[in-house]
Amino acid sequence: MASRRGRGCRLSRRHQWEEGIDTGGKVCPGYTDGHDVNSHQDYRRGGRKTPNYRSEKHPSPAHTGQPKAAPSVTLFPPSSEELQANKATLVCLMSDFYPGAVSVAWKADGSAVTQGVETTQASKQSNGKYAASSYLSLSPAQWKAGGRFSCQVTHEGSTVEKTVAPAECA
């Protein structure tokens, strides 16, 4: 069977990059059945990349047989490189949830923050679940002021909250 090479992975012609194919123990980077763990780093390099998932409509659980699943939420503080470049972006990654509708709220010291927020639409992962990202852009002074920043993700009536503070990242 003919194959093609790309990003150090060997894929057969019958597979597409988006499928997250396991190539003999090596999963192609950026094309896994989970989120692309480097997406927050790509974002900080100036791009607004989100995890590389196929976008599809959100079918109801009755049509797919997929059970409901709460999101896995990870909150990343600004990187030291970003702070040196006079930027400060917090990245909230949400993955492995079903169905594909979530709402995200950001807080600073318990108060709602709406300015500087950008949230992607949920995209379908190769495992049939969904993923999304939300970004909070701050000035380095706002970040270093010492407050606590939270990403609050609501899915199917349940809320997951992750919090980070500059003191925890020193």
Whether 12 maps to a domain, the answer reads: no
Look over the chain and give the mean of its residue pLDDT values, rounded to a whole number: 75
CATH of the domain at 80: 2.60.40.10
Domain for residue 83, yes or no?
A: yes
Summarised one tens digit per residue, pLDDT across range 95-124 is 999 999 999 999 999 999 999 999 999 999
With respect to residue 19, please indicate whether it lies within any of the assigned structural domains: no
pLDDT of residue 124: 97
In this structure, are residues 83 and 57 in contact, taking their beta carbons and an 8 Å threshold? no
Which position has the higher pLDDT, 96 or 65? 96
Assigned domain for 17 exists: no
Do residues 49 and 39 touch, judged by C-beta distance below 8 A?
yes
- The residue among 44 and 161 whose pLDDT is bigger is 161
Q: Is residue 40 part of a domain?
A: yes
Instruction: Please list, in sequence order, all residues whose beta carbon lies within 8 angstroms of the beta carbon of residue 17, skipping any fewer than 6 positions away.
Output: 6, 11, 28, 31
In angstroms, the CA 83 to CA 47 distance is 16
Q: Tell me which residue range forms the domain holding 72.
A: 32-169
Domain assignment present for residue 146? The answer is yes
Q: Is residue 156 over pLDDT 70? A: yes
**160 within domain boundaries:** yes
Distance between CA atoms of residues 54 and 1, nearest Å: 25
Question: 13 or 103: whose pLDDT is higher?
Answer: 103
Note the pLDDT of residue 107: 97
Domain count, the chain: 1
Query: Tens digit of pLDDT for each residue in 43-56?
Result: 444 444 444 433 34
Q: Does 95 map to a domain? A: yes
